[in-house]
Structure 1
Amino acid sequence: MTHFPKGFTSCSVNAGIKDDTLDFTIIYSDVRASAAAMFTKNQFCGAPITIGKEHVADGYLQAIAVNSKNANVATGDKGLQDARTMTEAVAAELGIHAGDVLPSSTGVIGVPLPIEKITAAVPGLKKQLTADGLEQSARAIMTTDTYPKFRTRKIGDVTIAAMAKGSGMIEPNMATMLSYILTDAEIEPADLKKMLKKAVDVSFNSVSVDGDTSTSDTVAILANGLAGNVDLAEFESVLTDLCIELAKEIARDGEGATKLVEVRVTGAESDQIAKKIGKSIINSPLVKTAIFGEDPNWGRIMSTIGNSEDPIETSSVSVSFADVHVFKDGMPTEDKRTELEDYLKTNEVLINISLGNGTGAATVWGCDLSYDYVKINGEYTT
């Protein structure tokens, strides 16, 4: 049974932005909610990012408005005005302050948002809000995703619901593609902000599909307090697990992906170095294509590790695919080609890398690089 957090409702419609699929959703809290958000560091950020930062700055939100099929990025002053118009239209329909609406847009870059289609779709939406509409919202925010990503968790009387979208142009930097987390727990904005940052760093910031940081990355959390207090340590633990689960789903559903790739790096001088090396592995086109082709060419991993900007003690390096060791303490193991070929036929590939005796460690997720990735992105605007 799916549980939904108290006081949150949503609805999703087709506004006709690009086609006849769901492309606009509103998520609403009955009361103003404590809120925190993190956004892309791409300097060509979308207009909704600029407005969203302003609106969440006071630590409170009451609604989220998201359109797919158009990112409202690189659209100049008109884009900023369109993002404001979207929040104003939604606020007027819901009877709340425009500053309490977080706008998000995702889709093609550089095309003006057809704002008149959105404003025409908003009147009457308040009557369509339902408590079980959140799963539809997860569908409405999709672009090249092949399935919606939605999860809920219970902590006593408290419920957390989370959704995410993302399939290509994925390597978040202090944010994710689009992710919205809703809870009826009572949590102060400052505590939410701290917990969200820690959770994002080990989840969404540890995933990459193609090494491109999107212009629209947003993750936001709203806590409306309608279920009362919660143990903050327990909440943070569940929140982190939820974010990791969604991050892995994004990697698994990478454009054209056939395999989820997990890279665990240990023995580094710091967690930051471990994450940087892990990311270099999952972003390497040579590694990604070898995994897609189920080619046991582990030398590509050694080459990528060796290209690290940080010093590596090569005689201390060990590499294994799950429990199949191919390189140990700076030396290749006996030929494991047959075992490795068999392992690479699975749809989840785990690569373990030990760099020595350091305390730094990180786990990152990505996917393989298939023919379909080129096809999807070669035809994205056509």
Structure 2
Amino acid sequence: MSIIIVDDNTANQLVVKAILNKAGYTDLIFASSAQKLFDILGVHSRIVKVRDAELILMDLMMPAVDGLEACKILQADDRFKDIPIIFVTAVGDSSKMAEALDAGASDYVMKPINRMELLARIRSALRLKKEIDWHKERDTRMKNKLELAKQVQRSVLSKAIDDENIEISAVYQPSSELAGDFYGWYQIDRHRYGVILLDMMGHGISASLVCMYISSILRDTITRMSDMEQAVLELNRYMNQLHMEDELINYYFTAIYMVIDTMEKTFEYVNAGHPAGIAYADDRIELLEHSCGAIGLFNTLNVKKKRLHYKKELNIILYTDGLTDAIEHGSEIAAEHLVTLLDNKKGLEPAEIIQQMLPECNSTNQKDDICLVKVRSK
């Protein structure tokens, strides 16, 4: 732990040194000007002489670059802005002291130096530095854990399918590190495919954890249970297991779950409170509208699947409400308007569809997760 003392007066340096040495502070570094301080820290170069500076004691009035300007320069650099700066000065102007504190200084001590006052302010500043360092270390650990969680979350999303029967792909644009949208598709047998897109309540860690919980049971639920209605009821049962008495709200998600049979040229679906998907079946356009409430919101669900046929070609576009919110800036959008917007884009890849519909949208300005899934039978 180093304390840097910046003063153009050697006598002042010796006074401060004597006080600090007697109090047990021995790792002291001296600089006769702000420029010398910059050289020690490597402010304007890559050569760093001191990497563990814990505190800077600095004179306010110095030639060339004064203490106030030096403080502003350090505060503007992310490498040094957390190092506490205590001004040791003979300037008694209260407005000047206020300006120094506004520039980022932690404290100040007036000359002639009162030993007890200086040591008390040093201890206070070092406690602050220790707390800042603890928070930075914790934030770094949390960031690393969030990055790992994001990678795990992305890894369980289904990879694109392009086989002799069907083509399924998606684009996912989360609004934060961890998101609440999830999609998956699973081949049930040679000609049948189960596809689900869901939007979990909330964002962040809790939504991500619940998504991971559901993803762990989806494959088995979809491939094992041939009855779609029973599969949705099973998911509802799992979600209701998450309810805690102390929580004021239940965890729930909206979803569209469908099974496509490329041999029989049919697809069945359940829309559990999700925005209506759009199916282009030959020359018809079908809206995949609600058939039951959100999954996990209530203990019981009245689930009714719907069945549609096609003869030659089937294109389906599913999306989460982050897409419609971004289009209308949070307002409701008529389904017919969305059909019109998507009609000439159904031949594009999902990422191209999003890019054309939301050319200026990115993760820094979007308010919700955006996910779009495209299904095309062959």
What range describes the TM-score normalised by the shorter chain of this pair? Answer: under 0.3
* Greater RCO (Cα-Cα under 8 Å, separation 6 or more): 1
Q: Normalising by structure 2, what TM-score?
A: 0.24
Length-normalised TM-score, structure 1: 0.24
